[in-house]
Amino acid sequence: MTGKTQTIPIQYFFPGPAYVRPEILAQMARPQIPHRSKEFCAIHLDICQILTDLFSQRGTWLVVTASSTYMMEACFHNTTPTRILALVNGAFAERWARIAHFFCNDVVELRAALGEVFSPAAISKILQEKKFSHILITHSETSTGALNPLAQLCQTIRQKSDALICVDAVSSLGGVAIDFTSIDFLFAGVQKAMALPPGITLTYLSDRYLEMAQAVPAKSFYFDLAMTLQKAKDGYTQTTPSAPHFFALQKQLHDMKEEGLANRLKRHLAMLQQTEAWVAGQELGYFTKHPAPTVSCLEFAKSQELVQDLRNQGFTIGGGYGELGARTFRIAHMGDVGVSDLNFLLDKMSQIIDDKYKF
């Protein structure tokens, strides 16, 4: 795990903001520096370089002091949407579709039941019927714990369409493998598998997206990604950034490089398998048949009580999201928690369930 120094088990498994190591929090307590100083620009440029090295090997990364929803909007401000296909299978995908309607009067919402994901065949079918300028995919739907088969969907789309492929990777970047080959726009707030405090969103733009953004007349100052990038080339930001987040992000990326992305992804898969094995021994089930390596959403009739029982014992897990609130709970096994931390939680949960919920 990323340079972990903590020896007592972590007891925080909330699906965002996820657990943050003390070493990272300490970075945020460093004294302020002016954001137009050489020191800040060097940090910013270093971050963008590591993001490319670690994740995409291509394209351009932007680091913006904003939450992920900012990028759901910015995606459209900088291009000309004529017909948008939104793949909707949960609350966050729903949010992006809702935003799309502000920017385009031809939004097609392809829906799947909560917990379900989209098949390449379903995408193929709709692409035969209609042409789209943008296709929106939520990689890991944090509200249900379902992981869309992103690589297969992208491959199918690219064979049949030149639509911009736009991806919400909020609860996958840093915890799930992502093939950037066909992706045009991808964003991820850092408070999930990147294991940082919320407040920064990382965004990948393909060269194609960027060319479009540069050609489209600016419709906004705050959301103008072409201008943001122009400044970022020299390490500057368009508006005053949260420098403490940049300090923390730089350290985290260096630590992730040291851990190795492949090892990090393996650790996430191991934690998913560990949770699946535990669930198999309980009278519990996954809400989805397509669980993400970062978050497990489990069905349990007394989920709210269980979350509180754990809270009373010093553990934090997530309740169900939105309409799933009363019948599911979520365990975030992402970011900088590890197998032994998760064991500690799962043992405690077995104990509580045996004592209180088994008759």
CB closer to ligand PLP out of 16 and 320: 16
Residue 77 C-beta: closest distance to ligand PLP, Å? 16
Residue 16 C-beta: closest distance to ligand PLP, Å? 5
- Cα(334)–Cα(60) distance, integer angstroms: 25
Crossing angle of the two packed helices 91-103 and 68-77, in degrees rounded to 10: 30
Residue 140 C-beta: closest distance to ligand PLP, Å? 6
Catalog residues that contact ligand PLP under the rule CB under 6 A. Answer: 16, 67-69, 92, 138, 142, 168, 170-171, 189, 198
User: How distant, in Å, are the alpha carbons of 47, 64, 286, 338 from that of 275?
Assistant: 33, 34, 10, 12
- Compute φ and ψ for 347, nearest 5 degrees: -60, -45
114 in Cβ contact with 324 (< 8 Å): yes
CB closer to ligand PLP out of 65 and 171: 171
DSSP string, 81-135: -SSEEEEESSHHHHHHHHHHHHH-S-EEEEE--TT----HHHHHHHHHH---SEE
Residue 109 C-beta: closest distance to ligand PLP, Å? 16
Closest CA to 79 of 194, 260, 173, 220: 220
Q: Which token pair is 7? A: 């020896």
Q: What does the DSSP 8-state code read for residue 10?
A: P
- Cα(150)–Cα(190) distance, integer angstroms: 20
CB closer to ligand PLP out of 189 and 291: 189
CB closer to ligand PLP out of 10 and 194: 194
CB closer to ligand PLP out of 235 and 241: 241
Residue 228 C-beta: closest distance to ligand PLP, Å? 17
Residue 198 C-beta: closest distance to ligand PLP, Å? 6
Q: Which token pair is 121? A: 């065949």
CB closer to ligand PLP out of 114 and 127: 114
Residue 96 C-beta: closest distance to ligand PLP, Å? 7
